[in-house]
A and B are shown apart, each in its own frame.
Chain A
């Protein structure tokens, strides 16, 4: 199994500011992903966090809005830039662990006011 720690767990932010969310895994993993879950909605994949190279973004998501870093095989960050109330969501980190099981962090609950 893999234990995933996300920080912050919750935050309330002012519009126009940026917030960086951290994802730490207790073991080395090859694949890491970031998802967004808007209120009352399902999860949508934002991007694949690639170790040592630029993240791969899904349609509708861009690097300027959601810059992602992945400096090593256990850690990644997602920044939500120039936030607006529409960015109020749960942001979740996901990894593919040994045995090809896909685990999720507990999520970072972001409210933009």
Chain B
């Protein structure tokens, strides 16, 4: 079975500061990993995905994530936070082959950005 743990249900940063959202996974096979963002009263938008190509994955809106197998981590970062980044972020892992697309989500991290 696979699982995802997001460390920190709430993260608060100042505008212009580094954003770091933590995600650790558990999987018996090399995983496919995703980060999604959910703005208030909206659905989910894909930020980026790791599918066993480059370990450093660049996504939309200046976000990137690095897959570290030794640490079973896939942390999301952004060098400089913007007010518009305030949202809830979800890390998710997918099964492979016939299970691809069936996502297991972490509990989510709410990002607050202060002026």
User: Are A and B bound to each other?
Assistant: yes
Cα–Cα distance between A109 and B49 once the two chains are bound (Å): 26
Cβ proximity bits B41-85 to A, threshold 8 Å, 1 near / 0 not: 111111001010000000000000000000000000000000000
Interface residues on A, range: 20 to 34
Does B108 interact with chain A (Cβ within 8 Å)?
Answer: yes
Partner of B103, one of A102, A106, A107: A102
Does A31 interact with chain B (Cβ within 8 Å)?
Answer: yes
Structural contact, B100 and A31, CB atoms closer than 8 A: yes
Q: Which residues of the other chain, A, contact B44 by a CB distance below 8 angstroms?
A: 43, 92, 104, 107
Does A53 interact with chain B (Cβ within 8 Å)?
Answer: no
Interface residues of B, dominant DSSP: strand
What's the minimum C-beta distance from A23 to chain B, rounded to whole angstroms?
12
What's the minimum C-beta distance from B8 to chain A, rounded to whole angstroms?
14
What's the minimum C-beta distance from B85 to chain A, rounded to whole angstroms?
19
Query: Which positions 82-100 of chain A face chain B at CB distance < 8 Å?
Result: 92, 94-96, 100
Cα–Cα distance between A31 and B98 once the two chains are bound (Å): 10
Q: Which residues of the other chain, A, contact B101 by a CB distance below 8 angstroms?
A: 31, 33, 48, 94-96, 102
What's the minimum C-beta distance from A72 to chain B, rounded to whole angstroms?
18
Structural contact, B46 and A106, CB atoms closer than 8 A: no
Does B90 interact with chain A (Cβ within 8 Å)?
Answer: yes
Q: Which residues of the other chain, A, contact B100 by a CB distance below 8 angstroms?
A: 31, 96, 100
Cα–Cα distance between A33 and B99 once the two chains are bound (Å): 11
Q: Which residues of the other chain, B, contact A96 by a CB distance below 8 angstroms?
A: 100-101
Which A-B residue pairs are the 5 nearest by beta carbons?
A106-B43, A104-B44, A96-B101, A31-B101, A107-B43
Chain B contact residues, CB within 8 Å of chain A: 34, 36, 41-46, 49, 51, 90, 92, 94, 100-108
